[in-house]
Amino acid sequence: MDTGELVHLRRARDLVDREYARPLDVAELAQVAFMSVAHFSRRFKVAYGETPYRYLMTRRVERAKALLRRGDLGVTEVCMAVGCTSLGSFSARFTELVGETPSAYRAREHSAVQAVPGCYAMRVMRPSRFREAGDVGPPIGSPV
């Protein structure tokens, strides 16, 4: 995958990360990446290991987990706050990714570690170099 293509894919991924709560579809993401829908979907999966829709839903579920841990919003409110329009689809995807229903997740006690803000958690969990995970090449700063 060339650098230019990866830059375009990152633009679409960054849009999902920033605006997960608004209605987004693969066609819009493909347009942001300057690609056809089919090509974008294939290349996104190669670059990030999951389809654009699955990536979007994963971001939404991550945010939903944080909102449910707070405990001041109900499951339906959280569903709408993260951009899902169907409570049934949201609950099914949440259960698939988390392993328990949103209601069960909200009801149980959560440790302080789980309450770490996402910006800190993402920084710690990201690869230590500016390459994408799985990008093999010489160490940064080594002669080529």
Q: Which stretches of 33-129 are DSSP H helices?
A: 37-48, 52-70, 75-81, 87-98, 102-107, 118-125
pLDDT bin (cut points 50, 70, 90) of residue 136 is low
Domain assignment of residue 142, yes or no: no
How far apart are alpha carbons 22 and 42 in whole angstroms? 23
Query: 67 and 109: one domain?
Result: yes
Same-domain check for residues 43 and 100: no
- 86 and 122 inside one domain: yes
Instruction: Kindly report the backbone phi and psi dihedral angles of residue 34, in degrees, each rounded to the nearest multiple of 5, phi listed first.
Output: 60, 45
Q: Within 10 Å of residue 117's Cβ, how many Cβ atoms?
A: 9
How many domains, the chain?
2
Kindly report, residue by residue over 57-114, the tens digit of the pLDDT. Answer: 999 999 999 999 988 999 999 999 999 999 999 999 999 999 999 999 999 887 765 5
Domain that holds residue 79: 60-128
Cα R_g (the chain), whole angstroms: 17
Q: For residue 73, what is the domain's CATH number?
A: 1.10.10
